[in-house]
Structure 1
């Protein structure tokens, strides 16, 4: 059952209500008298000496659990710091199975504007207002809003700004297909361009659907090998008995069915780039044979008596934590360090602030070039808000297929909120997803543990204002050092 939660800034009139000799129509206390809530979350930019007596008074008068979080703002009208505070606390509440309400009335106009922006876009919330003349009522916002927060340039370091202003990176057509306005992704594009100009192996890490092959192709296309072959191989699809033949080729008659000489992937990519996707899926026996080919630059086709020299640049990609796999003894350390020279770690789509709606519009426009029925079709503001509220665990691949399905349901020029809702797949509850997986198909228990750790540690830290000691206590860990060890082990940022 969902908790009904009210969140609000504390205003001047609210504070005076605690000390006034006559009852005041203060927004917070008036709202709590008019509407029932299970929990109250208050944000305060006033000194504790003023807020603490008020919280004690409000608790006595309402008999409700009240949380008060003090936020240091640059000023009561600074949109940036107000946004950060509101977004942080709404983000904590979003994942807590709550029916969320926001009280607009207390605070400055800047605070009210941010509440409306977030309550109508990024978070699903009822908006209330309270006044002496009109009493308490749900606010009617008679227009649609869609907004995605993009970090401002003032938050970037000097190094980041220098990289983003690099003319070569910005103008290189090889990277035009990587659509982003997110500073982290811009920096990754800059780093990828640097790697493209150097003959070093590249390892690209990231969740499924984050664009690892897109980056690999961009690195190849921006390199001196751009006019040579780019061969993409899925290592997870190697049949064990055919690995040597697929990678290194075979001679006619080498085995039953070998009716002619066949070059392997290394020979096919000779002079160019061999992209080994799902690199973490390689069996240990294959890792040994691959290491020799990388170290010596030669391969021996199955059934051949002579080695064949190959000149191949290797780019690998994986969704697994390979350094953890090395530590656990599941992946060869010497092979890992052979390929992990230039390393790019792509963020999941949900962490690419400013990119989700940009990508949604771009993907729809790209579909329109293949299907004339989609020309001129747009995504409504409310539909974009639904898109922004999703975790996109399948990342860009999931976003693209969702928009494609929504475009099929839509018979108008605009894809609506309902079209997007119909196109989304309802995911099973986390406990079912984690505990009811089909073991017969094989599972990676380390990945499951990693998912849990990466999900809950940032939430606990955010809830405790980045206090590791308090977060460790919330998570049932012995002390902050134990928490730090878990963060290092599972690469929690």
Structure 2
């Protein structure tokens, strides 16, 4: 096939095709200066922009040009760029007699970095660059990159990645799957095991990602109902018009689209356990309908006439303060006490002293079992220290996804601190309120008071239409002179 040039189409290339362009752009300049048997171009721009450029380019050069569209969520997404470039180079390298040439100039720095990585490891290539100042020249890259530094992500199938990313609770979850050496968690496991043997409803409290479904499945699997269904539903995702149908099923013809009889989740869970996740998000109208079936086990499907009876154990989970919701009349008190018989409060990850290292190793081991390319990954000491310092607001879900990202893109078999740092999402810190300052670090009460004055004085003046006497009265001051003195002290005009 001879000499093949591959390149991304960049913004300077597209601009060169416009009228009055003073420069041909990197790709056209390179084709004018060097002979290639074929050109392969990758692009993520709209087709309308690229079609005009391609027509212009082929009018300037007799070289065969082929183009490939690549869907990128961002022109700096290293993972997507890597996979696209790897596919293109792999296809070209299998052509007999082909010699690869890579034009580095077009595209983003992320695209150029990936070209260098692949062209120095998997697909040996010659590198070219083009600029108005230096013209077209061959680039000698004076270093080598070890092939093992290619990230594991390139070898893992999309299905495997999707499976690892899901990180859901295993259907066979048992209490042994709840890894901990924290005394509070050990006590919760013991309490949950006792509840599993009883037929009482269970309410599990905890922040998002603390393992509420893992506990629910373990309770079901350790109970006399283990051989029967475990049905999990997200109460916060019920479409208002389909709630009754989802919970209680419907009969054929009950509404438009009801082409046949369908069982609801209560019927599906008959004899087993119904896990109501996000229980605190239930609409008040649904709470009423749910209460009845929990009281006597009976309900009528939508469009049906005869009552159905089911035997279902309820395990509910929420991250809301349901007692406060009951007090605020946002949640039915009778429903709350119907479900809150066995109650478990799961602590957030940041309060599980001694568990972070154990859980991180468990996640890495699990990823290695799911795909051999991650089998030998280890976590460095510096990375472990980062894990211990991070607040993990997303709890186990955040820990799992962060370690997965770090494992996929780490350069070696060891996840270093920098790999982990790049994989972490740094959430902006919430500014503490006036009454939430950390007194252990010392505070300046006077400065806080001054800030409050600076906040309210302009608003009082605005409400009083600039009249100081009225503004002083609104602020609870004795007279306008006191207000004037305050304004001078605070530098307010």
Q: What TM-score do the two structures reach when normalised by structure 1?
A: 0.54
3-state SS of 1:176 partner: helix
- The runs of 5 or more residues in structure 1 that have no matched partner are 1-171, 435-448, 465-469, 477-493
- Matches of 1:474 and 1:424 in 2, distance apart? 35
- Matches of 2:174 and 2:225 in 1, distance apart? 12
**Equivalence for 1:106:** none
- Any residues of structure 2 matched to 1:328-477 within 5 Å, and which? 328-431=328-431, 456=436, 460=439
- Matches of 1:398 and 1:373 in 2, distance apart? 22
**Equivalence for 1:258:** 258
**Equivalence for 1:241:** 241
3-state SS of 1:358 partner: helix
- Matches of 1:409 and 1:173 in 2, distance apart? 29
State the Cα distance separating 1:376 from its structure 2 match.
Answer: 1.4
CA deviation profile, 1:377-415 (whole Å, cap 9, x unmatched): 100000000011110000000000000000122121110
- Matches of 2:383 and 2:203 in 1, distance apart? 36
CA 205–474 in structure 1, closer or farther in 2 if over 3 Å, else same? farther
**Equivalence for 2:301:** 301
- Matches of 2:279 and 2:448 in 1, distance apart? 33
CA contact (8 A) 2:229 2:272 kept: yes
3-state SS of 1:252 partner: coil
**Equivalence for 1:222:** 222
State the Cα distance separating 1:463 from its structure 2 match.
Answer: 6.9
CA deviation profile, 1:320-375 (whole Å, cap 9, x unmatched): 00000000110000000000000000000000000011100100000001111111
Task: Report how many residues are paired.
Answer: 277
CA deviation profile, 1:262-291 (whole Å, cap 9, x unmatched): 000000000000000000000100000000
3-state SS of 1:233 partner: strand
**Equivalence for 1:168:** none
State the Cα distance separating 1:429 from its structure 2 match.
Answer: 3.1
3-state SS of 1:430 partner: coil
**Equivalence for 2:92:** none
**Equivalence for 1:197:** 197
Q: CA RMSD in A?
A: 2.5
CA deviation profile, 1:4-41 (whole Å, cap 9, x unmatched): xxxxxxxxxxxxxxxxxxxxxxxxxxxxxxxxxxxxxx
Is 1:268 aligned to residue 268 of structure 2? yes
- Matches of 1:475 and 1:357 in 2, distance apart? 40
**Equivalence for 1:179:** 179
CA deviation profile, 1:88-139 (whole Å, cap 9, x unmatched): xxxxxxxxxxxxxxxxxxxxxxxxxxxxxxxxxxxxxxxxxxxxxxxxxxxx
- Matches of 2:313 and 2:446 in 1, distance apart? 48
State the Cα distance separating 1:174 from its structure 2 match.
Answer: 2.1
CA contact (8 A) 2:410 2:416 kept: yes
- Matches of 1:389 and 1:175 in 2, distance apart? 27
CA deviation profile, 1:49-89 (whole Å, cap 9, x unmatched): xxxxxxxxxxxxxxxxxxxxxxxxxxxxxxxxxxxxxxxxx
CA 463–336 in structure 1, closer or farther in 2 if over 3 Å, else same? farther
CA 473–191 in structure 1, closer or farther in 2 if over 3 Å, else same? farther
State the Cα distance separating 1:473 from its structure 2 match.
Answer: 13
CA contact (8 A) 2:173 2:217 kept: no
Is 1:279 aligned to residue 302 of structure 2? no
State the Cα distance separating 1:207 from its structure 2 match.
Answer: 0.2
3-state SS of 1:208 partner: coil
CA deviation profile, 1:400-455 (whole Å, cap 9, x unmatched): 00000001221211100000000011212313xx9xxxxxxxxxxxxxx9xx98xx
**Equivalence for 1:319:** 319
**Equivalence for 1:437:** none
- Matches of 1:185 and 1:396 in 2, distance apart? 14
- Matches of 2:255 and 2:202 in 1, distance apart? 34
- Any residues of structure 2 matched to 1:66-105 within 5 Å, and which? none
3-state SS of 2:370 partner: coil
- Matches of 1:240 and 1:185 in 2, distance apart? 37
CA 249–474 in structure 1, closer or farther in 2 if over 3 Å, else same? farther
3-state SS of 1:215 partner: helix
- Matches of 2:325 and 2:207 in 1, distance apart? 16
State the Cα distance separating 1:173 from its structure 2 match.
Answer: 8.0
3-state SS of 1:231 partner: strand
- Matches of 1:272 and 1:279 in 2, distance apart? 18
CA 366–202 in structure 1, closer or farther in 2 if over 3 Å, else same? same
